[in-house]
Structure 1
């Protein structure tokens, strides 16, 4: 499983002058409500949103994500 590194996103966004959720929303084109949920940690971006964030800030998506240990049903092989 992978999770967005919110701290890393804030750092990269700030380097581009985006210091608010609204600024991130405007640059990425992701719905403001989705950006709020992503940055508050209540949801994770889908692949499309993760790619839009990475593209908007000129980084690889891998730079924004971290691998987490599988838990529960996620640890069951397919």
Structure 2
């Protein structure tokens, strides 16, 4: 099953266009915990659908613009 990771640079670009130049500001505008955004940015966690929808709606992006799909490697 594929996994997804947040394209944090794309999010930063879109957020900066709205004046949000830090993940703190993104957290304040979206209501998503800064710790969650940090884990997504570092690739420690995969974004939930609700999180992606919130970010996409807030910053005028599609969900596809916010994620990279990665194929899981079988062990």
TM over 0.5: yes
Task: Identify the structure with the greater helix proportion.
Answer: 1
TM-score range, shorter chain: 0.7 to 0.9
Shift in Å at residue 61 of structure 1? 0.6
What does residue 76 of structure 1 align with? none
**Once superposed, which parts of structure 1, at least 4 consecutive aligned residues long, lie more than 3 Å away?**
none
TM-score normalised to structure 2 length: 0.81
User: What is the CA–CA distance in structure 2 between the aligned matches of 1:35 and 1:43, rounded to whole Å?
Assistant: 9
Structure 1, unaligned stretches of length 5 or more? 74-78
- In the other structure, the counterpart of 1:69 is 71
- TM-score, normalised with respect to structure 1: 0.79
Size of the aligned set, in residue pairs, is: 73
